[in-house]
């Protein structure tokens, strides 16, 4: 069983603080740089699962880096360098406390809400008579709050402005950027025989400039279907073949777990963990068209520290 990276405990030159997210450990350097160590932790329903997924961190980090580069003509982003497969170093931004979720298909959370009778999501009216995995006439934006702890919550664009989370102009700007990014992601996915079903974008400001932050178009932040067979499966009412962590959520639901407080997470067998790892690697190879190079996990902490210190020496 390949080891997974669950925690990091570095002390980099100029380090002023460390923040542990669901997946990423983020170190602030000199108040202006971020060192983001992408671990192999996996979360579902905003709960960190007890076992890590081997190579998941590398997959997420390298896909995110690729798509940040591929969309930098649409909006500047926080990325400066990727000194190690599990690490990205970039500019520290002041984040907006919302996540811009763009949906092209009625799937996942949106479908579960629709199935339960709701015909409006985040202030967006949903047509009658839709079926699971059906394509929307046009992509819709269904934002969520960006919770520091606990669950993100659905919120409408009007509520975002009313609560002062964004100004009206910022809301319009982020909505337009999100749709532009989704179109680009859709085009890039289509070239590889994939459908970008839905995704989320996070934004912040650096010196007053709006920038794209965090990850983009990864299997943690996005859902992909295979183009081949989509229509046939949809016509038959079958589940779609997808590359995302939605199947992890579905597995948890089958085990009776929906993220309820006080309820234990089901046991994850070695076979299940490796199957999830294979799914992540499969998406990397599918979306990039390149074989995944498994990083050396021997003394990975040492290799991360050495690579980061060399980069920080150039930046500081």
Q: Is residue 277 part of a domain?
A: yes
What is the tens place of the pLDDT at every residue in 105-159?
Answer: 999 999 999 999 999 999 999 999 999 999 999 999 999 998 665 567 999 999 9
Q: Is residue 6 part of a domain?
A: no
Return the closest-CA partner of residue 224 out of 174, 190, 253, 252.
190
Q: Are residues 88 and 130 in the same domain?
A: no
Measured over the CA atoms of residue 131, residue 133, residue 136 and residue 137, the dihedral's sign is: negative
Q: Are residues 194 and 102 in the same domain?
A: yes
Q: Is residue 290 part of a domain?
A: yes
Q: What pLDDT score was predicted for residue 113?
A: 96
Residue-number span of the structural domain to which 61 is assigned: 15-93+270-315
Q: What pLDDT score was predicted for residue 249?
A: 85
CATH label of the domain that carries residue 30: 3.30.200.20
The DSSP result for 194-254, as a single string, is EEEEEEEEEEEEETTEEEEES--S-TTTEEEEESTTHHHHHHHTPPPPEESTHHHHHHHHH
What is the total count of domains within the chain? Answer: 2
CATH label of the domain that carries residue 236: 3.30.470.20
pTM of the shown model: 0.90
Q: Is residue 86 part of a domain?
A: yes
| Joined tokens for residue 10 | 């570095």
Could you say which of 213, 247, 281 is where a domain stops?
A: 247
Q: Is residue 253 part of a domain?
A: no
Q: Is residue 255 part of a domain?
A: no
Q: Are residues 103 and 127 in the same domain?
A: yes
Q: Are residues 87 and 101 in the same domain?
A: no
Q: Is residue 184 part of a domain?
A: yes
Q: Are residues 118 and 223 in the same domain?
A: yes
Low-confidence ranges of the chain (pLDDT < 70): 1-2, 147-151
Q: Is residue 225 part of a domain?
A: yes
Q: Are residues 104 and 201 in the same domain?
A: yes
Q: Are residues 274 and 309 in the same domain?
A: yes
Q: Are residues 22 and 53 in the same domain?
A: yes
Q: Are residues 205 and 118 in the same domain?
A: yes
Q: What pLDDT score was predicted for residue 69?
A: 98
- Cα 55 to its chain centre, rounded Å, is 16
Q: What pLDDT score was predicted for residue 149?
A: 57
Q: What pLDDT score was predicted for residue 45?
A: 85
Q: What pLDDT score was predicted for residue 4?
A: 81
Q: Are residues 36 and 125 in the same domain?
A: no
């Amino acid at each position: 069983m390949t080891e997974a990276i669950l925690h990091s405990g570095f002390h980099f030159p100029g380090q002023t603080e460390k923040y542990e997210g669901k997946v990423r450990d983020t170190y602030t350097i000199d108040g202006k740089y971020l060192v983001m160590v992408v671990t192999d932790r996996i979360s579902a329903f905003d709960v960190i699962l007890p076992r890590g997924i081997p190579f998941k961190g590398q997959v997420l980090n390298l896909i995110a880096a690729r798509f940040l580069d591929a969309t930098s003509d649409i909006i500047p982003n926080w990325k400066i360098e990727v000194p190690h497969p599990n690490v990205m170093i970039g500019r520290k931004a002041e984040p907006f406390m919302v996540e811009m979720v763009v949906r092209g298909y009625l799937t996942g959370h949106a479908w579960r809400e629709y199935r339960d009778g709701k015909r409006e999501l985040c202030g967006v009216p949903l047509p009658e008579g839709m079926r699971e995995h059906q394509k929307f006439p046009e992509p819709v934006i269904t934002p969520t709050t960006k919770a520091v702890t606990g669950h993100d919550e659905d919120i409408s664009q009007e509520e975002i402005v009313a609560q002062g989370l964004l100004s009206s102009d910022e809301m319009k700007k982020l909505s337009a950027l999100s749709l532009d990014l989704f179109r680009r992601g859709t085009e890039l996915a289509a070239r590889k025989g994939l459908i970008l079903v839905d995704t989320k974008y996070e934004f912040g400001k650096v010196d007053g400039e709006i920038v794209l932050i965090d990850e983009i178009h990864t299997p943690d932040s996005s859902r992909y279907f295979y183009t081949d067979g989509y229509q046939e499966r949809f016509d038959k009412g079958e589940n779609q073949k997808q590359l995302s962590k939605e199947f992890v959520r579905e597995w948890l639901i089958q085990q009776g777990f929906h993220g309820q407080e006080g309820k234990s997470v089901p046991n994850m067998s070695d076979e299940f963990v490796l199957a999830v790892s294979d799914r992540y690697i499969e998406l990397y190879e599918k979306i990039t068209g390149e074989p995944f190079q498994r990083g050396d996990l021997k003394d990975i902490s040492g290799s991360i520290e050495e690579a980061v210190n060399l980069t920080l020496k150039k930046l500081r």
